[in-house]
Amino acid sequence: MRVTDLNDAKALISGILAERKEPFTNVVFLACGGSHACFGIGEYFLRKEAKKVSVYNITANEFNCVQPAVFGENSLVFCMSLSGGTPETVNAAKLAKERGASVIALVAEEDTKLAQYADAVAYYGIEIGNKANVQNQYVILALAVEFLQQTEGSALYDEMITGFDRIVEVCENAKKKVQKRAKQFGADHKDEPVVYTLGSGANYEVAYMMSICMLMEMEWVHSSSIHAAEFFHGPFEVTDPDVPFMVFMGVGPTRCLDERALAFVRNYGSKITVLDAKELGIDMLDDSVVEFFCPILLWTVALEYSEGLAQAKKHPLLMRRYMGKVSY
């Protein structure tokens, strides 16, 4: 079924739960690359909020080789592939079905290879545009929230509904706000050989996705995502006025980690770009739930910066030398 809002997610999850006799004891997210990173939003929400399930986010082909001992008939699996055809993710879904798990597939289109191994398909039509409510992170969070609400219940549920209502507007406003900055980022970084990203909490995976998808894959720029809490235990020794950092700042309990890393790179570096969810208007959301929505806003904005870099480098985002061009 098409899932673009919380009501769709509610229907999908209740359909899955209606087929169960025993409760799920664990939730496993399985995907590759950018999709694997996007699952971070669901992993963060459920790990923080769900008392009755353990939560794992595993890159699909590692799962194909080795599964957690707790994995099996009591597992709820989310598999995601934009095209629905990523072989590693299709194999993971197949394996999950064979092992008796319930599988929810998230894909951009309705009919895909991934769908054939799924108990339910959430297709979100990402091609329609770039609005937050068709962003896959939005759909993942909606499904995670509904899963929690329909199993354990959640004191945050009403505020989450309001959050989903508001995040689209927040993202649209922020996109406009960063147009000039994104262009400037491109101009400033077009000749940089290395760009690091920093993040924490719900937003670490956004920093990871910016690093592996936008910088490495799309712009062939050397990069690494560094968890802001890990930064001071090794990585910060590469800090230098010549080394660019993109700092992804959320609002919520781990913001202090981002702030500490930012203060350091501002002090000992000089090429610092800050994507700050607070300054970009996420404060329209209630304090109790704002942290969970930050990745949606930060990724929306990260796409603008990526486009700014691509234009300045005259290196289109979709240009590849290996992916889909050679066999591997």
**Binding segment for a copy of itself among 1-9, 175-183, 251-259, 295-303 (CB under 8 A)?**
251-259
- The string of DSSP letters for 158-216 reads HHHHHHHHHHHHHHHHHHHHTHHHHHHHHHHHTT-SEEEEEE-GGGHHHHHHIIIIIII
Shortest approach of a copy of itself to residue 137 CB, angstroms?
17
- Among 3, 32, 90, 198, indicate the residue that binds a copy of itself (CB under 8 A): 32
Residue whose C-alpha is closest to residue 157's, from 18, 255, 292, 280: 292
**Residue 252 has which token pair?**
């919520």
For 183, residues 6+ apart whose C-beta sits below 8 A from its C-beta are: 308, 311, 312
Q: Any contact of residue 314 with a copy of itself (CB under 8 A)? A: no
Q: Any contact of residue 118 with a copy of itself (CB under 8 A)? A: no
What CA–CA distance (Å, rounded) separates 266 from 309? 21
Q: CB of 22 within 8 A of CB of 75?
A: no
AA identity, residue 246: M
- Name residues contacting a copy of itself, limited to 167-206 (CB under 8 A): 193-194, 200-201
**Binding segment for a copy of itself among 115-123, 134-142, 160-168, 318-326 (CB under 8 A)?**
318-326
CB nearer to a copy of itself: give 154 or 273. Answer: 154
- Among 17, 229, 272, 284, indicate the residue that binds a copy of itself (CB under 8 A): 229
CB nearer to a copy of itself: give 128 or 256. Answer: 256
Q: Any contact of residue 306 with a copy of itself (CB under 8 A)? A: no
- Among 21, 176, 314, 321, indicate the residue that binds a copy of itself (CB under 8 A): 321
AA identity, residue 93: A
Handedness of CA 240, 245, 251, 254 (dihedral sign): negative
**E-strand stretches of the chain:** 26-31, 54-59, 75-80, 102-107, 120-123, 194-199, 222-227, 245-249, 272-276
- Among 18, 19, 22, 65, indicate the residue that binds a copy of itself (CB under 8 A): 65
Beta bridge mates, 111:
none
**Binding segment for a copy of itself among 1-9, 124-132, 137-145, 209-217 (CB under 8 A)?**
209-217
What CA–CA distance (Å, rounded) separates 217 from 249? 23
For 45, residues 6+ apart whose C-beta sits below 8 A from its C-beta are: 141, 144, 145, 148, 202, 292
AA identity, residue 315: H
- Among 264, 271, 272, 311, indicate the residue that binds a copy of itself (CB under 8 A): 264
- Among 8, 88, 192, 205, indicate the residue that binds a copy of itself (CB under 8 A): 88
Q: Any contact of residue 43 with a copy of itself (CB under 8 A)? A: no
Q: Any contact of residue 227 with a copy of itself (CB under 8 A)? A: yes
- Name residues contacting a copy of itself, limited to 2-31 (CB under 8 A): 26
Q: Any contact of residue 111 with a copy of itself (CB under 8 A)? A: no
Which spans of this chain sit near a copy of itself (rule: CB under 8 A)?
Answer: 26, 32-34, 36, 47-51, 54-56, 59-62, 65-70, 86, 88, 193-194, 200-201, 211-213, 216-218, 220-227, 229-230, 232-239, 243, 252-254, 256-257, 260, 263-264, 268, 320-323, 326, 328
